[in-house]
Amino acid sequence: MKIAAVCQSGLGSSFMVQMNIENVLKEENVDASDIEITHFDTGGLNEQSADYFFLGSDLADQASGLPKDRVYLLKSLIDKEELRGKVNDILDKENIQHS
């Protein structure tokens, strides 16, 4: 499974989100060996580039072409609890155990 954090430049905020996803997975005691987490800019947004996408809600328009159930829009990019809820949602969908 591949999860992508996406932002306009692919440098700053997307990397912050990627790190927070990694932290959440660790805290949820998830075996992440089959989970790839990456970050890139909105130019890389396409159905093939990842299974799930995280992006700031301001960029919603740019993800409008993607399947809705694979796109997660974040109100805040640094709020770990908001992220945790959404990451857990993915884990539940994929039947991946977490605490």
Partner 1 sequence: MLSSLLTAETIQIGHADKISWSDAIRKAAEPLLSTGKIKESYIKAMISLVEENGPYINIGPNIALAHARPENGVKKMGMSLLKVDSAINLVNKDHPIKLFFVLAAVDNTKHLQALKELTTLLGNPDIVKRIEKASSVSEIVREIKEDDEK
Q: Which of 1, 2, 49, 59 binds partner 1 (CB under 8 A)?
A: 59
Strands (E), the chain: 2-7, 36-41, 52-56, 71-74
- Please provide residue 11's backbone torsions phi and psi, each rounded to the nearest 5 degrees: -115, -45
Which of the ranges 12-20, 44-52, 63-71, 87-95 carries the binding residues for partner 1, by CB under 8 A? 12-20
Confirm or reject binding of residue 80 to partner 1 (CB under 8 A). Answer: yes
d(CA 98, CA 32): 10
Q: For residue 25, give both structure tokens.
A: 């997975």
Confirm or reject binding of residue 65 to partner 1 (CB under 8 A). Answer: no
Confirm or reject binding of residue 85 to partner 1 (CB under 8 A). Answer: no
- Placement of tokens 């539940």 in the chain: 92
Is the Cβ of residue 86 or residue 96 nearer to partner 1 in the bound state? 86
Binding stretches for partner 1 (CB under 8 A)? 7-9, 11-13, 15-16, 19-20, 56, 58-59, 76-80
